[in-house]
Amino acid sequence: MTTSGSFRNFIFKENADLLLWAGCLLILHFILLKIYYPYAVIFGDSSEYVRAAWHNTQLTAWPIGYSKLLGWIHTLTRKDWAIVIFQYLLLEAAVLYLYFTVLYLLRPGKWVKLLILFFLVMNPFILSITNYILSDAIFAALTIFWFSIMMWYLHKPRPILVYLLVFANLLLFSLRYYAAFYPLITVPVILFSKVRWWVKVSGLVLGCLLFIGFIWYTASLFEKQSGIRDFSPFSGWQLAGNALIMYRHISHREQDTPPPALRSLHQLVLKEMNNPESPINGIPDRRLVIYFTWDARSPLMQYCGMKLSIHPLTSDLPKWSSVGKLYHDYGVYLIKRHPVEYIRYYVGQGLDWFISPRAEFTNVYPQGGYEIPGIVNDWFGYNSDWLPCSPDSLYSIAMFPQIITILNALVLIGVIIFFFRRCHVAEGSLTTKVLIFFMTYWSGNFLFIIFSAPATLRYALSIMILDIVFVPMLFEFILRSARKKIALQHTIGDKRRSEIFV
């Protein structure tokens, strides 16, 4: 259900009060956020993004998009407030665009739309993530824009939306390879839409050329540096780490005989796993993937140092990336040898990661500050390697793993009831199509996490935002459908009673 007026009038005239209140709250929140955290927060991958921007490199272990953004903003000013404000404005603009799109197209009730707005605007997770030098805020913003554009396309396919969707997919992929499954959702929607055939063909051909060109160019750079053509060497490290989570549960590992190229690595893995004093034996599966891919004591890191004569945590990207293909082959070998165990121990662990994503940080610094690497200090022009902040927990996100668990459970319950009770018949085709699209994206995230990459809390930002929007609406649709059925039953009953009296 939509209104008859334009979307612009719907926002700036019909809902001007909502927009004004939301804008004022967001401004006040940003001021309060910067009082608590005067400087951008540096965490984990931040220094690598900054290092790539500093050297203007075309190639890193991570997608290059965010480092390029840091470099472009740095040409205007070196102060960290510029990237923080950009991230804040982009993410909050995306959230409000999604919010008003949902209001315009799906028409939730008064209290539901106020409830959604409250939890979006007052959400400390959405607010605080923009203060981190990480790609998460930008990725979530572009994902929400992509989702909103898809909603408009489902409502009314237009040529311009096809090209916007294509470029959104490419931008997302350049920020995080997590977006690899986005085209699998976008392409079928475009193919089966009612837009003209030449628009479909031109849009999809353009998308293929852009994606293939990006992949080919990146793989060529890796081949030039390491001598091995590989688009994403880190995915090889990731796959081997995933397989080793399963492999430590295998008994009689000595019976496996990998191909000659993998045997020296395999012997090192066996040595570590058979050593009762190895850290492998004391780390739970939930944290093992970090150990295998990042800890200097892990067999993957040791092999990298032994065979290439480099420190396991070296920033020498050509040497580090040169083992990516080998690790990929080793991971594939282990999974093929033990497919049932892989499903049991790794995919089973993936379910745990999805249900309760790991919080890498809580956004609370009781020591009253945090230390930053020297390269970050030089990049942003700080006066010290120690940045002060408030020790208070006003913007803590420690409870959000549990919150996301509850939201995801409510999504599943709501969708099952919605279709089981045939609420889609009463709500109309657009609502049904949007919900199917939402659940397709939700399921894509679920499958990607349990089969490929472990979930962390910050990776769940986009899903959390969509859950906040759709959970209240799902239950409103269910209640509205139930009321209609009750009213219809009363009407039929009254009619029958009147016929009896007649």
Q: What is the pLDDT along the chain (502 residues), one digit of tens a residue?
A: 555 589 999 999 999 999 999 999 999 999 999 999 999 999 878 988 999 999 888 888 788 999 999 999 999 999 999 999 999 999 999 999 999 999 999 999 999 999 999 999 999 999 999 999 999 999 999 999 999 999 999 999 999 999 999 999 999 999 999 899 999 999 999 999 989 999 999 999 999 999 999 999 988 888 887 778 888 888 888 899 999 999 989 988 888 899 999 999 999 999 989 888 888 888 888 888 788 888 888 898 888 877 665 544 445 676 777 888 899 999 999 999 999 999 999 988 888 888 888 888 899 999 999 999 999 999 999 989 999 999 998 889 999 999 999 999 999 999 999 999 888 777 788 999 999 999 999 999 999 988 887 778 899 999 999 999 999 999 999 998 888 777 666 666 656 666 665 5
Distance in angstroms (rounded) separating the CA atoms of residues 7 and 96:
13
Q: What is the pLDDT of residue 212?
A: 94
User: Which pTM was predicted?
Assistant: 0.92
Is the Cα torsion angle 402, 403, 404, 409 positive or negative in sign?
positive
Q: What is the pLDDT of residue 493?
A: 62
Q: What is the pLDDT of residue 313?
A: 42
Distance in angstroms (rounded) separating the CA atoms of residues 251 and 267:
15
Is the Cα torsion angle 359, 364, 370, 375 positive or negative in sign?
positive
Residue 105's closest CA among 463, 475, 434?
A: 434
Under 8 Å between Cβ of 331 and 423 = no
Under 8 Å between Cβ of 331 and 240 = yes
Exposed, middle or buried by CB within 10 Å (0-12, 13-18, 19+), for 105?
buried
Residue 371: phi, psi to the nearest 5? Answer: -90, 145
Distance in angstroms (rounded) separating the CA atoms of residues 499 and 14:
46
Residue 374's closest CA among 385, 364, 366, 383?
A: 385
Distance in angstroms (rounded) separating the CA atoms of residues 121 and 92:
8
CA atoms within 13 A on the CB side of 470: 28
